[in-house]
Amino acid sequence: MRVVVAEDLFLLRNGLVRLLEAHGFEIAAAVDSAPDLLQALLQDEPDVAIIDVRLPPTFTDDGLRAALEARRAVPGLPVLVLSQYVEQLYARELLAGDAGAVGYLLKDRVFNDDQFVDAVRSVASGGTVMDSEVVAKLLGRRSREETLARLSAREREVLELMAEGRSNSAIAQRLFITEKAVSKHSTSIFAKLDLVPSDDDNRRVLAVLAYLNG
């Protein structure tokens, strides 16, 4: 699987490259600025790009903007955006268009390399991955209080993990329950939230996120 890595800090870029190579990824390009990133994304056509939000030249959200621009040129181009902090505003911008194949994670998440690599693979295959901080804030909305109060504690946990973009098996593993139990919970959640159930993992994440964002 070919990956483009965009990160301006040498130490972190190297760390990422090493981590990815150790897990069998092929590094198509490792760049350190937004213009280079844009070029790499449009020319190298990677399977997935891992992008830092803050990049030269302006050191603001250049990385994010390059990612969004590339996705406008190539809809559905898989990008996993990393940042020192997460903003719901950016999450919304990334999710806009319903194309899927996006991820938005705190940089801290690379500490758990297995989960991180899962996330990269999920995005590469068209999935959606949201950081648990974003999801927690979405669930903390007062406007959603009433409907969410209808869920059981377990269902809430499942919903949280679903919104983060995890597969049924990952959720089952995490909560120490069977996959069958997970799908039962998910059916019940969708019924309680008046959402149209879907077997497709990615559709499911998008539906849940759209619901929470709404």
Partner 1 sequence: MTKWLVFLLAAGLAAGCLASARLDGGGDEQAKTRRGRLRALGLGVALLVIAVCVIRFLRAQSRPVAHARGSSFALSATSSSSATLWLVLAILAAGVLVALRWRRALWIVSAALMAAAGYGFVRARDYGNAALYNTVFHAAQPMAVAIPRIVNTAGRAPSPAHRLALSVTLKHATVGFSLPVLSSVVPANNVMSYLVLPLTYAALLLGGWLAWRALDGRSAAVRLVVGKMAEAKKQGRHWGILLLPAAIVTAELLAPNIWFGPGAANIGWTVALVGGTLLLIRRWPVVAAWLATAGLAALGLAGLYLAGSWDSGRWPLPLTPDGSVFYGAVDVSSHAMIYPATVQAVALIALACWLVPRTMPATLRLLGTGSQAELATRVRRLAESRAAAADTAAADLRRLERDLHDGAQARLIALGMNLRAVERLIPTKPEAALALVAEARETSARALTELRELVRGVHPPVLADRGLADAVRALALDCPLRVETDIDLPGRPPAPVETACYFAVAEILTNAAKHSGAREAKVAVSHAEGMLRIAVTDFGVGGADPANGTGLAGVERRLATFDGILAVSSPVGGPSIVVLEVPCALSSPKISSC
Task: Annotate 105-130 with b (16+ C-beta within 10 A) or e (fewer).
Answer: bbbebbeeeebbbbbbbbbbeebbbb
Nearer to partner 1, 13 or 54 (CB): 54
Contact 68, 45 (CB under 8 A): no
Q: Any residues with CB less than 8 A from the CB of 97 and at least 6 apart, and which?
A: 71, 75
- Least CB distance from residue 62 to partner 1, whole Å? 9
- Least CB distance from residue 103 to partner 1, whole Å? 17
Nearer to partner 1, 104 or 185 (CB): 104
Nearer to partner 1, 90 or 190 (CB): 90
Burial of 39 (0-12, 13-18, 19+ CB in 10 A): middle
- Least CB distance from residue 145 to partner 1, whole Å? 8
Contact 29, 44 (CB under 8 A): yes
Q: Give residues in contact with partner 1 (CB under 8 A).
A: 53-54, 60-61, 64-65, 68-69, 84-85, 87-90, 92-93, 107-108, 111, 137, 140-143
Nearer to partner 1, 139 or 175 (CB): 139
- Least CB distance from residue 136 to partner 1, whole Å? 11
Nearer to partner 1, 45 or 85 (CB): 85
- Least CB distance from residue 94 to partner 1, whole Å? 10
